[in-house]
Amino acid sequence: MLRALVVALLLGAPAVLPSSPDIDGYLREQRAELRIPGLAYAVVDRDRVVRQGAWGVDARTPFLIGSVSKPVTATAVMRLVDAGRVGLDDPVRQHVPWFRLADERAAARITVRQLLTHTSGLQQWASRTDRFDNSPDGLARSVRDLASVEPAGQPGRAHVYSDANYMVLGALVETVSGQSFAEFLRREVFLPLGMNTATASSPVGLPAGHRYWFGQPRRFDPGYDTSGAPYGYIAAGLGDMARFAQAHLDDRYAPMHTGQADGGRYGLGWRVTELDGHRIVWHAGATPGYFAHVVLVPGADRAVVVLADSYSLARDGALAALGFDIARMTLGGTPQPAGSDPVFGIALLVLSVAAVLLVAGLIRPARRRRWQITTALATLLVAAFAVLGLPALLGGDIRQAMLWTPDLAWTALVVAALAVAVAARNVSQMRAATGP
């Protein structure tokens, strides 16, 4: 109770602490189960903080908010739209004339609205993300690197979620405003909404996040990534995000919350779905070490914010369930917590078994030439799958796997190294058997 009251004072709003539902109890249980070092939440309406809590952190502790940065960036773009400086259906090149793709005709047709709704045709992994580039022109450089990228499809035809869309929108904000993306957000979004400690440049006092190694959280601090702010590296505390959620309950933001893509499930920077019969507008996001979730329930004039200082792809669904469950509880429903994704545990188990078998193959190599050839080829295939195939199946490459799932990535690299060693051992034996 005392902690909740302290957090309420830090948020600068009165707290109403109903005895039911027991949101704090639910979150304490989930925090222990998911091994989250720092967790904070807030339930707000347009005028006040209804309820909030924090464990291991407080309302001023900055978090990286991951892809929740996208609705923040969309809000910045809409500032320019409302000021008449940008039109939603303007071609991007009207404002960023140096924007290029490998398909020049497609690049010329992409509009601001298509970037906001992920219907530009840019593929999911169109560009290298998580660059940790804090140079003044880092954001512009990341967009210029798209010049060699082939679109996945024609603009306007399909919804394909891609960080590159918001990377380009960040460059648009800089080009149109003549300010850095961070400065424009500070002046036009953060300060007007009372998000006084939020930032899109190197945050002061940002604590290390946590990644998971075989189910255990471990501190991880790769540094800040200014070039990635528009799609994932905005930093904000619980108080900042509570005020952002409150602002978006206002009717003036309703056009952003109208589904325009993905069968009506994606608006201008927001996802639009239903939760137990209630229309919700939401976005979740993560960076290596942090997780964030904002859920708006416009019909109930209620919003939920959840921030965590740990993240794993295996726990993505379970972390997202926290925000949805708090929303359910405030609407009189029952929480439906989600467990960890078993795919990652199975992958680790398979890799571990493969490592044991490969060690056995080193100790007792094949003796017959036919088996030596078969073993050498098979183990090279195993090495290729561990380094290339498995990360691709999980939605990325080995570099991204090292960043997001280090336990899986390092186990895969060990398996690949053992596989190559076994292959080399068998080739060496074949050469020795045939002689000079």
Largest CA distance in the chain: 86
**pTM for this structure?**
0.89
Main-chain dihedrals φ then ψ at residue 103, nearest 5 degrees: -100, 100
- pLDDT of 359 higher than 80: yes
pLDDT digits (tens, 9 = 90+) for 131-156: 888 899 999 999 999 999 999 899 99
DSSP calls for 6-51? HHHHHHTS-----SSS-HHHHHHHHHHHHT-S-EEEEEE-SSSEEE
Across the range 51-61, mean pLDDT stands at: 93
d(CA 376, CA 381) in angstroms, rounded, equals: 9
**The pLDDT value given to residue 427:** 86
d(CA 217, CA 308) in angstroms, rounded, equals: 12
Cβ(405)–Cβ(346) below 8 Å: no
Query: CA-based angle 33:35:39, to the nearest 5?
Result: 105
- Could you tell me which of 126, 135, 95, 131 has the C-alpha nearest to residue 113? 95
**The pLDDT value given to residue 14:** 39
d(CA 47, CA 176) in angstroms, rounded, equals: 33
Main-chain dihedrals φ then ψ at residue 219, nearest 5 degrees: -55, 140
Query: CA-based angle 430:435:436, to the nearest 5?
Result: 125
**The pLDDT value given to residue 20:** 54
Across the range 234-261, mean pLDDT stands at: 97
- pLDDT of 5 higher than 60: no
**The pLDDT value given to residue 354:** 92
For the chain, state the CA radius of gyration. 24
